[in-house]
Amino acid sequence: MSEIVIIGGCGHVGLPLGLALARAGHRVVGLDIDPTKVAETNAGRMPFADKGADELLPKVLAAGSFRCTSDKGCLERAQIVITVIGTPLDEHLNPRFEVYDDLIAADRTFLRKGQLLVLRSTVYPGTTERLAAALAREQIEVDVAFCPERVAEGVALEEIATLPQIVSGTSARARARAAELFRTLTPDVIEMEPRAAELTKLFNNTWRYIQFATANQFFMIANEHGLDFYEIHRAMTEKYPRAKAFPKAGFAAGPCLFKDTMQIASFHENAFFLGHSAMLVNEGLPNYLVRRALLRWPLRELTVGILGMAFKGDSDDPRESLAYKLKKTLERECRAVVCSDPFVADERFVSFDAAVERCDLLFIGTPHTAYRRADFKGKTVIDIWNITKVGISVV
């Protein structure tokens, strides 16, 4: 089996992949710039929640098939290098291409002839071929592949082995090597050309973002007319297969969906009107809720609580969570704002019981399972997710 280094190996994408590859028999090194995460992972403790990882990590560490380091020297010994660096957005919502230029500048002296370099995170269309050409100009003779992650955070380790793996390469040899690697994780491998694979990943995330925007727009329409969106949702979906995939309302957030929708917009010369409309709906939902609440309650006289600050239910990841946008908007309108989350560690947060005790009005910011059975002590709960069954979803 191969000697593999994963750049970004202690993160939400790299670490579950490293564990899965180690479980499959490869020798894997997670390379990461965060010494705290490296130490924690090497001690057998997951730095974040992912189903099944707490049990697997100590096993692969004890077997010697997995370890983490901050020493880039490990790259020289690898047969395969996987990078989970994605393409972030700048302040103008345009992709920042320089991240891969930085990768070449920082790591090219460690790369060696004959290695397979796999891009794993979402990238702007054309990035794989652009990177391969840049490496060739530097006379770095490596095979370059793009094999996007497609998993849901929190169940990444589980889904890596159950979802089809998309593989592509800038040469026939690169694609064949990538396919061979990912077939050690699952027999379901879909081979594509690089740009088609890049768009497949972006289209997947953008489609989901648009679906959420549709639900959120319908929620607003129903709400404006004093109707319960969830009564309508049940009527639409119950025993009606053509509406089975229709999502519920809620904050469409996290590190991928918004970013990838904006990458498609940039790629399509900012003529992606459907994507921009979805962005306006989803990003505008927190402000909409506050505007509606101002019509019903004297917010300036109230202490208001937000229960759940992670970007999705039962997650400990607060990245790009719209609960923080809700917090910022409420702080302009309320006497005080209190936040609580059972998973996200923040010294500014209070316990659930303290939040309920101190607050006059509560918003569900994240649909954590614990809130299904929680006692809100008779307080008014604004719950657009309809998870509590006792909160109000018509604002």
Residues 186 and 242 in one domain: no
Residues 12 and 95 in one domain: yes
The answer as to whether 135 is a domain residue is yes
Distance CA 81, CA 5 (A): 5
Residues 125 and 235 in one domain: no
Token pair of 76 as six digits = 């020289």
Token pair of 135 as six digits = 């490496």
> Taking each helix axis from N to C terminus, what angle separates 229-237 and 194-224, rounded to the nearest 10 degrees?
130
- 395 residues of the chain, pLDDT tens digit each: 569 999 999 999 999 999 999 999 999 999 999 999 999 999 999 999 999 999 999 999 999 999 999 999 999 889 999 999 766 666 666 666 666 666 666 666 788 899 999 999 888 899 999 989 989 988 889 999 999 999 999 999 999 999 999 999 999 999 999 999 999 999 999 999 999 999 999 999 999 999 999 999 999 999 999 999 999 999 999 999 999 999 999 999 888 899 999 999 988 999 999 999 999 999 999 999 999 999 999 999 999 999 999 999 999 999 999 999 999 999 999 999 999 999 999 999 999 999 999 999 999 999 999 999 999 999 999 999 999 988 777 77
Among residues 192, 212, 235, the one where a domain terminates is: 192
8 A C-beta contact, residue 63 and residue 53:
no
Half-sphere exposure of 337 (CA within 13 A, CB side): 20
Residues 338 and 371 in one domain: yes
| Helix, strand, coil % in the chain, rounded to nearest 5 | 45, 15, 40
Residues 236 and 101 in one domain: no
**Predicted confidence (pLDDT) per residue in 358-391, tens digit:** 999 999 999 999 999 999 999 999 999 999 988 7
The answer as to whether 375 is a domain residue is yes
Residues 65 and 178 in one domain: yes
Residues 22 and 123 in one domain: yes
The answer as to whether 395 is a domain residue is no
Residue whose C-alpha is closest to residue 313's, from 149, 151, 163, 154: 154
Among residues 192, 227, 247, the one where a domain terminates is: 192
Q: What's the confidence (pLDDT) of residue 351?
A: 97
Q: What's the confidence (pLDDT) of residue 58?
A: 97
Residues 292 and 349 in one domain: yes
39-45: Cβ within 8 A, 24+ apart = 41/10, 41/15, 41/68, 42/67, 42/68
**Predicted confidence (pLDDT) per residue in 52-111, tens digit:** 999 999 999 999 999 999 999 999 889 999 999 766 666 666 666 666 666 666 666 788
Q: What is the pTM of this model?
A: 0.91
The answer as to whether 21 is a domain residue is yes
Residues 146 and 236 in one domain: no
CATH of the domain at 85: 3.40.50.720
Q: What's the confidence (pLDDT) of residue 149?
A: 93
Q: What's the confidence (pLDDT) of residue 95?
A: 64
The answer as to whether 13 is a domain residue is yes
Q: What's the confidence (pLDDT) of residue 46?
A: 96
Give the angle 321-324-327 at the CA atoms, nearest 5°.
150
Number of domains into which the chain is organized: 2
Q: What's the confidence (pLDDT) of residue 94?
A: 67
Give the domain extent around 133.
3-192
Token pair of 172 as six digits = 């026939």
The answer as to whether 393 is a domain residue is no
Residues 180 and 220 in one domain: no
The answer as to whether 251 is a domain residue is yes
Q: What's the confidence (pLDDT) of residue 25?
A: 95
Residues 166 and 286 in one domain: no
Residues 170 and 219 in one domain: no
Among residues 135, 165, 192, the one where a domain terminates is: 192
Q: What's the confidence (pLDDT) of residue 282?
A: 98
The answer as to whether 389 is a domain residue is no
Distance CA 393, CA 185 (A): 43
Token pair of 85 as six digits = 């660096």
